[in-house]
Structure 1
Amino acid sequence: MDNKLDYMRRELVDIQGVPLFWSMVEAWSQVESFESRPDDLLISTYPKSGTTWVSEIVDLIYNNGDTEKCKRDAIYNRVPFMEFIVPGISNGVEDLKRMQSPRLVKTHLPVQLLPSSFWKNKCKMIYVARNAKDVVVSYYYFYKMAKIHPDPGTWEEFLDKFMTGKVAFGSWYDHVKGWWEKRKDYRILYLFYEDMKEDPKREIQKLLKFLEKDLPEETVNKIIYHSSFDVMKQNPSANYTTVPDFDMDHSVSPFMRKGISGDWKNKFTVAQYERFEEDYEKKMRGSTLKFRSEI
């Protein structure tokens, strides 16, 4: 593959004011016209909010807890990333077209950019939200290891970019609020990363109810075990170690880094924390959405 370095560390390009990878923008008509199917299940998150975690849980639910079936392929092939298109390397839209129903579809798009067929077909959707301070820390390390992103710069510089929405998939604040509002009108199960860490069984029961699935308790316990951070971190079909080093350099930072709540305390200075909180309060004012920064 001669062009493997051509797409690395390139600047983001805006679509309707949302910064995305240049290759997605070039292929935007494919994304926009994506044809969902009524039995598709959409898994939507802002990056670094538990996407792979909930994807693995749902794939386990769909396969009645059969862990061997869930090792049939890497998670990014079992749950294709719809809008992720890089010429000659990946095309989520085409991958999904080839998949049999029922499909699991991953997206990081804010509500206003989601292909309209999902709303038209009234697809079920799961949204997972995570507190902003843990997201920005995780995103910083992800930017460093996943080279399709622009260079993150210093932690201080990246924190500024995050606060102003100048990162891939745009403003965290707009993203979580947009999906929160949309849940009033569509079949959206809105989950919180912190709740999943605190009581995975309770949150998996919510998923089962939403998906109208009934599994015996022993299967649920098996799903909890196999979707735990430590087990997934060791699972090549879930931990992204099958991605080539030139794309994701796990020696810089593993894809599955810590998987905890409250890690932001190890990264934020007092001054950064105070500035962030003041800005956060302004941006989230008026929203009924409430987050926990630790559990």
Structure 2
Amino acid sequence: MKHRPPPQDISFSESVHPIEETSDEDVFVAGFPKSGNTLLQHTIAHLVYGLNESGGRTLVQLMVPDVHANTHYFRHKDRCFFKTHDHPKEHHRNVIYIVRDGREAMLSYYHMLKNMGQDVSHRQIYSNEVPVFGGQWHQHVAMWESNPFDANLLWLRYEDMRSDRITQLKRICNFLEIERSEQELLEVARLTSFEHMQQVERRSDWVAKNLTVFNKPACFIRRGACNSFRQEVDPDVLALFESRNGSVLRRHYPETFEHSENRKAT
């Protein structure tokens, strides 16, 4: 029998850290699931690090690691960026929080679970009968509104990222204290457009990842819609969700929530 040397202890470079070891300079991209977190993760990769068109999902994950999908990360800059769905934590010193209308976020979550082969209904998702990673939508948003650890916090709306991308990119630049030309912002907007994100999802590295989870490989970037819940979800189910989440919906989506209230009144 061939002699094998004893196993050696694994040692990591000083630049490799456990995912929970972060710096006060670091920035966390936070939000309830299916609220545009992946869009913002890709935005940071292009806007901050200059990722070009050929960069795929693997590079994005190296530049802006998901704290729920990685145990370690490479500390390649003094200031690193992370994606999270967590509630506020003390080490979240700088945060870009993206909020999306909960009625649309829950619908997107429903479609994700269906594509994972789960037999769920709209009512089960909107009533939280089936638990959603991250808890209940209104609680997640309210926890970050309360900002219990006094983080340096920038709020973005997913809907504004879709309708007025350049303005939101400028807000991110101001928050991060970086400068980008108008042409650079236009290029980031193009590379993070819904159409381009769908193309990126069809590349081999993202397809390989999706095939381990989903029935359809190119499905995570589904529609990017803002009001499709009105066509897809029964009004009674929406009314149940609105009754539980109304105060937060009213603060962040007064125009659409008032429309729903008026619709119910008639």
User: Which band: TM-score by shorter chain?
Assistant: 0.7 to 0.9
Alignment coverage as a number of residue pairs: 237
Question: Does the 8 A contact of 1:145 with 1:250 survive in 2?
Answer: yes
Aligned residue number for residue 117 of structure 1? 91
Instruction: Give me the TM-score of the superposition, normalised by structure 1.
Output: 0.71
2:114 maps to 1:144: yes
Q: CA deviation at 1:178?
A: 0.9
AA aligned to 2:91 is S
Distance change in 2, residues 1:76/1:248 (3 Å): farther
User: Helix, strand or coil for the counterpart of 1:230?
Assistant: helix
Q: CA deviation at 1:241?
A: 2.3
Rounded to whole Å, the distance in 1 between the matches of 2:204 and 2:169 is 18
Distance change in 2, residues 1:239/1:210 (3 Å): farther
Aligned-residue RMSD, C-alpha:
2.8
Greater length-normalized contact order (CA 8 Å, ≥ 6 residues apart): 1
2:179 maps to 1:194: no
Distance change in 2, residues 1:193/1:61 (3 Å): same
Cα offsets for 1:131-173 (capped at 9, x unmatched): 01001100011122347xxx35222222222xx6832111111
Question: Does the 8 A contact of 2:127 with 2:240 survive in 1?
Answer: no
Instruction: Give me the TM-score of the superposition, normalised by structure 2.
Output: 0.79
Q: CA deviation at 1:183?
A: 8.1
Aligned residue number for residue 75 of structure 2? 99
Rounded to whole Å, the distance in 1 between the matches of 2:166 and 2:148 is 23
Aligned residue number for residue 87 of structure 1? none
Q: CA deviation at 1:273?
A: 2.5
Structure 2: 5+ residue stretches without partners: 1-17, 258-266
AA aligned to 1:200 is R
Structure 1: 5+ residue stretches without partners: 1-29, 85-91
Cα offsets for 1:166-218 (capped at 9, x unmatched): 32111111101111221893211111111111211110110010011111111
2:7 maps to 1:40: no
Identity %: 20
Q: Max radius of gyration: which structure?
A: 2
Question: Does the 8 A contact of 1:183 with 1:190 survive in 2?
Answer: no
2:144 maps to 1:159: no
Cα offsets for 1:37-56 (capped at 9, x unmatched): 13322111110000111111
